[in-house]
């Protein structure tokens, strides 16, 4: 890509990158950080790097994992084609991060200012029991 002075790299991250939700969020946060760095490092070379950070998206991902899609309200679900279109548009514009939809842009903007205890979710039962004597 560098030799031909043209290329596009899309890393599929998640809005989870902006929350404190364990290893999944940590992995997605790394993708966002790396994509930001690479996009800046290769600016002017013709190579554009973007981390696409969708929220809940209608794909086979949740079905294959056997997850209940009703855990998220209908208005939070995105269409996969829209996610792809907005991600490619943002990459073409040279953006290091793409957060599809105004609703998720607003959600992630708010999450950046919330205390970690509010973005970490409810404590796990195992964590509650770990400090208790039996």
Whether residue 1 lies inside any domain: the answer is: no
Q: What CATH number is associated with residue 74?
A: 3.40.50.720
pLDDT digits (tens, 9 = 90+) for 9-62: 999 999 999 887 789 889 999 999 999 999 999 999 999 999 999 998 888 877
On whether the pTM is more than 0.85, the answer is: no
Catalytic residue among 2, 24, 40, 45: 24
pLDDT digits (tens, 9 = 90+) for 81-114: 999 999 999 999 999 999 999 999 998 888 877 7
**How many domains is the chain built from?**
1
Whether residue 100 lies inside any domain: the answer is: yes
Catalytic site residue 24?
Answer: yes
Whether residue 99 lies inside any domain: the answer is: yes
CA 63 → CA 27, 58, 59, 70, distances in Å?
A: 22, 9, 8, 12
Range of the domain at 111: 7-130
- Residue pair 13/59 in contact by the 8 Å Cβ criterion: no
Whether residue 2 lies inside any domain: the answer is: no
């Amino acid at each position: 890509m560098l030799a031909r002075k043209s290329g596009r790299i899309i890393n599929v991250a998640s809005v989870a990158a902006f929350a404190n939700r364990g290893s999944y969020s940590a992995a997605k946060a790394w993708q966002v950080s790396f994509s930001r760095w690479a996009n800046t490092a290769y600016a002017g070379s013709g190579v554009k790097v973007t981390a696409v950070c969708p929220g809940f998206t209608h794909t086979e991902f949740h079905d294959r994992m056997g997850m209940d899609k009703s855990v998220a309200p209908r208005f939070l679900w995105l269409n996969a084609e829209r996610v792809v279109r907005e991600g490619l548009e943002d990459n073409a514009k040279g953006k290091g991060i793409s957060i599809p939809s105004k609703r998720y842009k607003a959600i992630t903007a708010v999450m950046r200012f919330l205390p970690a205890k509010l973005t970490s979710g409810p404590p796990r039962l195992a964590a509650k029991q770990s400090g208790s004597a039996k």
